[in-house]
């Protein structure tokens, strides 16, 4: 029978090959699924992975790539740091929502004043909101030992209710004819986060994502704090010996990933999203977990993985439009991607051996 046998060392190429194999396996399994549903598998896969970039409608869809990838990369950069240290923030979605709400609150309070200070203040408020939401699981873990996995996840649902309350209550636009949802910040110049260069899809959030990739790379590979975060993930006792206080580390990782997710939320509400609605959270916070792992928790990998996942979003929408594929396709695809990645990851740590049954 087949048995798994631990490897002494992981060959370097396997660490890179495993995500690529996961992508290929997702395409194959996805194609098979579409074939079973009665769709042409090749056309479906092409519509999802090829057409958004090079197809006839790519003029519309190509800018969307950065629009979707920006928040994913920004959030995943923060999450990856905690994941390296063994601190599992599963609630970036909630921090994203709260960050968006806090940033929007600054804009709505300032409305209709104009000023160059408004947008930076919104960014700070967004980061602060996400940070605060992330500090709840950090504090509970440090004080009571509560699992940050559960607390951060449950706070997502709290954040979703807060968003609904804001959309129906305090933030409802007075000019919205009673419809739920805040004013549209795209129409408020001092607070808007527009496309910076036409046709690219790049807004301030994309710039921030790029900076986050650079900054986290510097932190993890050049700075003593990043070094200690890696030690903590590999050998917690060695980290204590080196002088890492676990409580500080928990607060740092959850606070930082919360702040980055909160900023992502702010850039979304002031840019592509435009307003706080009861369905403001769109799953970026969860998808970013896949991005972080698909990117091997490495900043450069996260950059590539963020673009790939953004592609599945856009391609999925396109396939829905062109081929009438069901809307759940995107989620199935993303789920399969993580599933195959974890599966192939096993092979980086173990090798398959055929052994005669005893």
Which residues of this protein are in contact with other proteins, per CB under 8 A? 222-225, 227, 230-231, 234-235, 237-238, 240-243, 245
In the complex, least distance from residue 224 CB atom to other proteins, rounded to whole angstroms: 5
Q: C-alpha distances in angstroms, 317 versus 52, 60, 63, 169?
A: 10, 12, 14, 31
Cα-trace Rg, the chain: 21
In the complex, least distance from residue 206 CB atom to other proteins, rounded to whole angstroms: 27
Residue from 80, 129, 104, 133 nearest 292 by CA: 80
In the complex, least distance from residue 340 CB atom to other proteins, rounded to whole angstroms: 25
In the complex, least distance from residue 245 CB atom to other proteins, rounded to whole angstroms: 7
By the 10 Å C-beta count (0-12 exposed, 13-18 middle, 19+ buried), 116 is classed as: exposed
State the Cα–Cα distance between residues 130 and 101, nearest whole angstrom: 10
The nearer residue to other proteins, 235 or 321, going by C-beta atoms, is 235
Q: C-alpha distances in angstroms, 210 versus 33, 132, 187, 259?
A: 35, 23, 26, 16
Give the up-direction half-sphere exposure of residue 223: CA atoms within 13 A in the CB hemisphere.
Answer: 11
The nearer residue to other proteins, 224 or 342, going by C-beta atoms, is 224
In the complex, least distance from residue 261 CB atom to other proteins, rounded to whole angstroms: 24
The nearer residue to other proteins, 24 or 235, going by C-beta atoms, is 235
In the complex, least distance from residue 219 CB atom to other proteins, rounded to whole angstroms: 9
Is 328 in contact with 310 (CB distance < 8 Å)?
no
The nearer residue to other proteins, 172 or 230, going by C-beta atoms, is 230
**Helices 246-270, 148-168: inter-axial angle, 10-degree rounding:** 30
In the complex, least distance from residue 14 CB atom to other proteins, rounded to whole angstroms: 16
The nearer residue to other proteins, 223 or 353, going by C-beta atoms, is 223
Neighbours of 125 (CB within 10 A): 22
In the complex, least distance from residue 295 CB atom to other proteins, rounded to whole angstroms: 19
The nearer residue to other proteins, 143 or 237, going by C-beta atoms, is 237
The nearer residue to other proteins, 240 or 351, going by C-beta atoms, is 240
**Helices 246-270, 284-294: inter-axial angle, 10-degree rounding:** 120
Please tell me whether residue 240 adopts helix, strand or coil conformation: helix
Number of residues that make up the chain: 358
The nearer residue to other proteins, 19 or 226, going by C-beta atoms, is 226
DSSP 275: S
In the complex, least distance from residue 241 CB atom to other proteins, rounded to whole angstroms: 6
State the Cα–Cα distance between residues 279 and 336, nearest whole angstrom: 25
The nearer residue to other proteins, 211 or 235, going by C-beta atoms, is 235
Is 185 in contact with 126 (CB distance < 8 Å)?
no
């Amino acid at each position: 029978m087949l048995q798994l046998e631990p490897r002494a060392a992981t060959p370097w190429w396997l660490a890179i090959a495993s995500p690529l194999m996961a992508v290929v396996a997702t395409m194959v399994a996805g194609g098979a699924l579409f074939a079973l549903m009665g769709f042409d598998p090749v056309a479906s896969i092409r519509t999802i992975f090829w057409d958004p970039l090079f197809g006839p409608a790519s003029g519309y869809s190509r800018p969307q790539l950065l629009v979707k990838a920006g928040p994913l990369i920004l959030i995943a950069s923060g999450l990856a740091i905690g994941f390296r240290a063994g601190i599992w923030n599963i609630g970036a979605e909630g921090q994203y929502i709260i960050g968006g709400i806090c940033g929007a609150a600054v804009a709505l309070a300032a409305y209709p004043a104009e000023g160059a200070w408004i947008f930076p203040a919104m960014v700070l408020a967004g980061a602060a909101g996400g940070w605060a939401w992330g500090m709840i699981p950090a504090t509970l873990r440090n004080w009571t030992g509560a699992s940050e996995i559960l607390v951060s996840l449950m706070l997502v649902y709290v954040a979703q209710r807060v968003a609904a309350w804001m959309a129906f209550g305090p933030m409802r636009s007075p000019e919205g004819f009673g419809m739920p949802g805040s004013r549209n910040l795209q129409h408020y110049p001092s607070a808007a986060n527009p496309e910076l260069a036409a046709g690219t899809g790049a807004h301030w959030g994309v710039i921030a994502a790029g900076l986050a990739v650079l900054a986290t790379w510097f932190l993890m590979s050049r700075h003593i704090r990043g070094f200690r975060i890696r030690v903590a993930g590999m050998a917690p006792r060695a980290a204590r010996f080196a002088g890492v206080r676990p409580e500080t580390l928990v607060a740092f990782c959850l606070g930082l990933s919360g702040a980055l997710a909160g900023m992502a939320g702010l850039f979304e509400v002031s840019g592509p999203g435009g307003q706080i609605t009861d369905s403001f959270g769109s799953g970026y916070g969860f998808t970013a977990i896949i991005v972080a792992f698909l990117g091997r928790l490495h900043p450069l990998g996260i950059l590539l993985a963020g673009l790939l996942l953004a592609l599945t979003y856009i391609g999925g929408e396109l396939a829905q439009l062109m081929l009438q594929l069901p809307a759940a396709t995107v989620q199935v695809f993303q789920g399969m991607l993580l599933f195959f990645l974890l599966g192939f990851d096993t092979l980086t740590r173990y090798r398959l051996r055929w052994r005669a049954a005893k």
